[in-house]
A and B are shown apart, each in its own frame.
Chain A
Amino acid sequence: MCRKWTGGAFLGVDYSAGGVEITESETLSWYDSSEWAQRGFCNRCGSSLFYRVKEDDSFMAICAGALEIPEGLSLQKEIFIDEKPDYYSFAGDQKTFTGAEFFASMQVEEEE
């Protein structure tokens, strides 16, 4: 899903509650990409911008390309590694999760 939407791999930066204030949004469109999530994009230029979970206002991910990322950050985790095509890989020793592993880890976090 992320690959179809962004055209490649999704690189997102997570923010939690109150962490994102949208200061100009006339051309912001939201697309229901699944039962649980929405994607925000600029309907003028097509830039991929946001990922949000519909029933959880405390979470928003921002496409890394839309931000000036500070130096010294590196990829933390890759998810849905089982759906990654063969033709590219990210370098580094970050953790990888299958889709099932990722959903399971989210549930554990919620229960804690």
Chain B
Amino acid sequence: MTDREITKGQCHCGAVQFEGKGPIMGVDACHCATCRQLNGGPYMGVRFHNGITLTQSDSLKWYDSSAWARRGFCGDCGSSLLYNLKGTEFYAVSSGCIDMPAGMTIGQEGFIEEKPDFYDLAGEHTRLTGAEAFALFQKDNAQKDDDND
């Protein structure tokens, strides 16, 4: 985690701008076919401890990428920006759209079974299949629900 309070982010043309609030919780990569198709390559995203605020969003478009998630992109320049679990405050931000602090490394890779052969991310970190990633996510959320009780 970083100790930044606000991290500014934007698309390439600047029509969509947002602020990440609180520390960055780490950067994760996803190799699922949907992420690769939308982003052109593996998805790398970060989450902020206190979520995000959109400060300029007239050109932000949302696309329903699955039954449970939607993706936000700039309708003017096409930058891939946001991943949101529908109906929740879970937002991940494409790491390319923010000024990433030095010293961060990839925390985990998801959907490793869908990764094509032609690239690999270097480094020692957790690599999960889609099923393992979903299971971990559900466990984390159950933990959070318990914490809130």
User: Footprint of B on A, CB under 8 Å?
Assistant: 1-12, 29, 31, 33, 39-49, 63-66, 69, 71-75, 85-92
Q: How distant is B102 from chain A, measured CB to nearest CB, in Å?
A: 6
A74-B118 in contact (CB<8A): yes
A86-B104 in contact (CB<8A): yes
For residue B131, CB closer than 8 A to chain A, the reply is no
- By Cβ-Cβ distance, the 3 closest A-B pairs, closest first, are A7-B94, A63-B40, A46-B73
For residue B71, CB closer than 8 A to chain A, the reply is yes
B39-A90 in contact (CB<8A): no
A7-B76 in contact (CB<8A): no
**Besides A7-B95, A88-B27, A91-B119, 5 new A-B residue pairs in contact (Cβ under 8 A), listed by A number:** A7-B80, A46-B74, A46-B78, A48-B39, A92-B120
A7-B100 in contact (CB<8A): no
Residues of chain B from 72 to 131 with CB closer than 8 A to chain A in the complex: 72-81, 94-97, 100, 102-106, 116-123
Assuming the contacts A43-B61, A87-B95, asked whether A65 and B100 have C-beta atoms less than 8 A apart, the reply is no
For residue B20, CB closer than 8 A to chain A, the reply is no
Assuming the contacts A7-B43, A31-B78, A87-B104, asked whether A46 and B120 have C-beta atoms less than 8 A apart, the reply is no
Contacting residue for A6 out of B39, B65, B103, B106, CB 8 A: B39
CA of A45 to CA of B73 in the docked complex: distance in angstroms?
8
Chain B residues touching A, range: 35 or more
Assuming the contacts A4-B79, A31-B13, A69-B116, asked whether A91 and B63 have C-beta atoms less than 8 A apart, the reply is no
Q: How distant is B143 from chain A, measured CB to nearest CB, in Å?
A: 26
Contacting residue for B120 out of A10, A29, A63, A90, CB 8 A: A90
A and B contact pairs by CB, cutoff 8 A, 29 listed: A4-B10, A4-B97, A5-B79, A6-B79, A6-B96, A7-B79, A7-B81, A8-B44, A9-B41, A44-B63, A45-B38, A45-B65, A45-B71, A46-B74, A46-B80, A47-B38, A48-B40, A63-B40, A64-B118, A73-B118, A75-B119, A86-B104, A87-B44, A87-B105, A88-B27, A88-B123, A90-B121, A90-B122, A91-B122
